[in-house]
Chain A
């Protein structure tokens, strides 16, 4: 298990080298610059939609939201309209809080055994901070890159860029999002390998996307601040991609192809991996349903028909005993009650010594509900 991250790291390095070297050969630029990105974009789009549709094909037979606040019951008890939402509006707010602010992760605690016998719980905010930083930085970076695909660049993007670069360090100005993205990815990686239990559950498929994103952020930072790629050429190239008139301009270095190829790999990898949590969170039945389950009937499309034990059946088996203790019965006793055919096979009934049909005790001790010896009070 522990070598999972090494393999993932090696895989990302190999991919990067592959793009760097490959782009130098004849036709390589077209392959890494045009064919791979277009195929990747296509795979991502089709794959993502397919996965969502595939999930949606399975119905939600039961309404199983996790209620995290007071239910709506009596009018004088204040109910939690977001944590236990009975209205669609409440669900929408709950979902927004989940998606935008990671509400549930915000609750995170750690539990520790102190002084040998005391469990202590502590609010654990860092995973939430790291995750939020990571996702927002990623989001900003993606949005910021839209400028490469739009001409003219919309005002809102220009504004975002100003905001992102508000520190005004260096030239070209430092974009906070790229740095935060790299730092947050490193944090998430370190957390994975340094926390024993998290390391224990981590798979190569957890490390791989982290390294991939680190690689993308790193190559991006490298281009922007160090190798200083010719931005006008890049823009000409990306505009060619989106207008489906691709051409390879000169003067874009190998790092650019590494960057672009890693992004392509990420796009292809996305729909087949855990990264689909982006779509999945919207479909989680413990979060996206109203909790008014006793007020409104939820329909199960396949509600299985089942065999049930009817009252008539029950009375037929126990009529005599019921009459003996004065319980009302539907049919009178005159007619000898028919022996219920499947009655003899019944399992042990704790209080049924007088049932002749249960001669054998099962070998397995069965004292349901009351293993603690139900002492009868006298």
Chain B
């Protein structure tokens, strides 16, 4: 584990060159610190997913169902017939290698099977063998020929290799930006993981949150009363810091807007401060403009680990958003800060669970802005919503309260490459913080790097992998930390807030991580507030101790 491997050691362990043996002749070595634990059979069962059982990746025998090979082959065929993406991506790669050093896991490990091209070849090799005419003909001539055209039979070892490397891809899609054919490794990983799920090979860090979410409405399995306890707790904290008692509304029928955010924000620091930020912002909007935003415990999860399980599981979890909006009779849905949640909302939700004809085209009643870009899905991102408020001068802000921070912004993979939301969060942050610096151009916007723990890989037991994958992002943070004294890394993703905190602590210890809305709330001048001497983290605000004046700077 990384507790033993310090950053210098990790850096020097990056393999500069591929091994001497060809990749088909290099057997998979399932390493501690890289792999995640197998799914708890109870979680798999709860979801009625197939082949729930106890198994251990570190052991020789994975207790595979007898007909596992048949299941995989059949599943592969079905997916080729249902997804043009898979079919085309299986066929057209020319192995130019442009994707190779675009992957954070490859950069951080040097393991050639982490090159997106080779990760895909792990599946393609089986595809060529089982599904292509050329593969079948050439393969039948000689085994040597088969290997030369990159075809191989599906064996238990191949299956293990799939499992090991498909859970070393965070579906960030950075490679797909550079691929001349737009081949998207996320698509291949998604499909590969779907196949693995058919024979019960998931990891627990995905399966258990999914089961939790299905039952309790959120990944953490927080039941309604516990959820309320946390919210009460935040309410008390906010009162202590601002002197204002916020009164969040829950499951209120006929409210204007339903708000859904990842449950990580309710339970894990520093996401909790972002959650307090939402509560303060909504209180402000209620007091000033009478906007009624309600939360739900049934739909208390923005994230969707079903996305890392199968398209069907994703749909099951996602369905709660529309169901709850319909039940409560709100006008539209506002979504909190989360990465893959927004890929699902932006590119899948309407298709899977729409049409949302019971909702209205989102309009901000405060500014009159019609969110044309969300007129079918009827769900707006909090950064879009807040940027619009600030642009129309609807928030009283004192960015000076964030002056002790020098901020940079990390684009979440999914809001970047699955949505293209670059300017909205930057606009918001620059309006609530006076000191802002960008990281190098090759590491932001559409070229942004994953935190290293996306797509359900944020477990504790795979810390080596996470620190390897976190290297490129952390390295860019280190660059601005050294050059501009950046001490705060802002992001709009709950996984980022959890994962980057660990990664930055490991690679750049002097930098902290925050959500966008935490920064907003720190700057937000609440009606009737006391003089702020503390930020949302209950840390003393430098220079604010004796200062009476409250500057209004919008």
Given contacts A76-B391, A306-B316, A364-B40, contact A203 B84 (CB under 8 A): no
Contact B18 A62 (CB under 8 A): no
Q: Is the CB of B97 within 8 A of A197?
A: yes
- Identify which of B68-76, B157-165, B373-381, B520-528 touches chain A: B373-381
Closest to B234 in A: A377
What mask results when residues 237 to 277 of chain B are scored 1 for a CB within 8 Å of chain A, else 0? 10000000000001111000000001110011100100000
* Residue from the list A7, A68, A348 in contact with B446, Cβ < 8 A: A68
Q: Per-residue 0/1 for B202-242: is the Cβ within 8 Å of any A Cβ (1 yes, 0 no)? A: 00110011011011110111111110110001000100000
B418 close to A (CB within 8 Å): yes
B148 A4 Cβ-Cβ under 8 A: yes
B45 and A294 within 8 A (CB) = no
Task: Decide yes or no whether B143 CB sits under 8 A from chain A.
Answer: no
| Cβ proximity bits A342-358 to B, threshold 8 Å, 1 near / 0 not | 11011111111001000
What residues on B are CB-neighbors of A68 within 8 Å? 177, 417, 420, 446
Is B402 interfacial (CB-CB < 8 Å)?
no
Indicate with 1 or 0, residue by residue over B108-148, a CB within 8 angstroms of chain A CB atoms: 00001001011001000000000011100000000000001
Q: Could you say which of A71, A107, A318, A346 contacts B46, with CB atoms under 8 Å apart? A: A346
* Bound Cα distance A274, B132 (Å): 12
B422 touches A284 (CB 8 A): no
Give chain A nearest CB distance to B508 CB in angstroms: 11
Q: A67-B419, A201-B121, A368-B220 are in contact. Are A280 and B350 (CB under 8 A)?
A: no
Which of A274, A314, A376 meets B298, CB within 8 Å?
A314
Q: How many whole Å from B187's CB to the nearest CB in chain A?
A: 7
The distance from the CB of A54 to the nearest CB of chain B, in whole angstroms, is: 8
* B85-93, B280-288, B545-553 - the one binding chain A: B85-93
Does B107 lie within 8 Å of A119, measured CB to CB? yes
Which residues, 164 to 205 on A, are CB-close (under 8 Å) to B? 195-198, 200-205
Is B538 in the interface zone, CB < 8 Å from A? Answer: yes
B437 at the interface (CB under 8 A from A): no
> Contact between B251 and A328 (Cβ–Cβ < 8 Å)?
yes
Chain A residues numbered 112-166 whose CB sits less than 8 Å from any CB in chain B: 113, 116-119, 121, 127, 131
Which B residues, 276 to 329, have Cβ-Cβ distances below 8 Å to chain A? 297-298, 303, 311-312, 315-316, 319-320, 323-324, 327
Whether, in the assembled complex, B542 has its beta carbon less than 8 Å from a beta carbon of chain A, the answer is: no
What residues of chain A lie closer than 8 Å to B89, measured between beta carbons?
284
B30 CB–A CB distance under 8 Å:
no
B351 adjacent to chain A (CB < 8 Å): yes
Rounded to whole Å, the gap between the CB of B33 and the closest CB of chain A is 14
Partner of A110 from the list B101, B251, B346, B447 (CB cut-off 8 Å) is: B101
**Complex: A294 Cα to B268 Cα, angstroms:** 30
The answer to whether B88 touches A280, judged by C-beta atoms less than 8 angstroms apart, is: yes
Q: Are A55 and B88 also in contact (CB < 8 A) when A294-B379, A366-B40, A367-B460 are? A: yes
Whether B223 and A321, one on each chain, are in contact in the complex, defined by CB atoms closer than 8 angstroms, is yes
Q: Of residues 225 to 253 in A, which have CB atoms within 8 Å of B's CB atoms?
A: none
Chain A, range 296-320, C-beta contacts under 8 Å to B: 296-300, 302-304, 306-311, 314-315, 317-318
Bound Cα distance from A51 to B134, whole angstroms: 13
When the two chains form their complex, are residues B87 and A58 in contact, meaning their CB atoms are under 8 A apart? yes
B220 touches A369 (CB 8 A): yes
Partner of A62, one of B204, B319, B348: B348
Stretch of A24-32, A98-106, A216-224 with 4 or more beta carbons under 8 angstroms from chain B: A98-106
Asked if B179 and A309 make an inter-chain contact with CB atoms under 8 angstroms apart, the answer reads no
Q: Mark A4-32, 1 if CB is under 8 A from B, else 0.
A: 10010000000000000000000000000
Within 8 A of A (CB), among B15-63: 17-18, 22-24, 37-40, 42-43, 45-46, 48, 54
What is the interface residue range for chain A against chain B? Answer: 35 or more
B387 at the interface (CB under 8 A from A): yes
Contacting residue for A276 out of B22, B92, B346, B422, CB 8 A: B92
A71 touches B419 (CB 8 A): yes
B contact residues around A78 at 8 Å (CB): 423
* Residues of the B chain whose Cβ atoms lie less than 8 Å from the Cβ of A349: 212, 215-216, 220-223
Q: How far is the CB of B104 from the nearest CB of chain A, in Å?
A: 10
Asked if A306 and B494 sit within 8 Å, CB to CB, the answer is no
Bound together, the chains give a CA A157 to CA B373 distance in angstroms of 47
User: B156 interface residue, CB < 8 Å from A?
Assistant: no
CB B309 to nearest CB in A, in angstroms, measures 12
Q: Are B475 and A118 in contact (CB under 8 A)?
A: yes
Spot the interface stretch: A33-41, A259-267, A285-293, A331-339. Answer: A285-293
Contacting pair A63 B95 (CB below 8 A): no
Q: Which single residue of chain B is at the shortest CB-CB distance from A328?
A: B251
* Residues of B contacting A287 in the complex (Cβ-Cβ under 8 angstroms): 181-182
Bound together, the chains give a CA A159 to CA B348 distance in angstroms of 50
Q: Which residue of A198, A200, A277, A285 is within 8 Å of B84 (Cβ)? A: A285
Cα(A372)–Cα(B505), bound, Å: 11
Shortest CB distance A230–B (Å): 37
Chain B residues within 8 Å of A202, by CB: 95
15 further interface pairs, Cβ-Cβ under 8 Å (given A196-B18, A197-B17, A206-B94): A60-B84, A62-B348, A62-B351, A118-B475, A119-B107, A197-B101, A198-B95, A296-B376, A307-B48, A321-B223, A347-B42, A348-B208, A349-B220, A351-B222, A377-B237
Write 11 A-B pairs (CB below 8 A) sorted by A numbering.
A67-B446, A68-B446, A70-B420, A127-B96, A127-B97, A195-B97, A201-B117, A281-B180, A295-B374, A303-B351, A311-B324
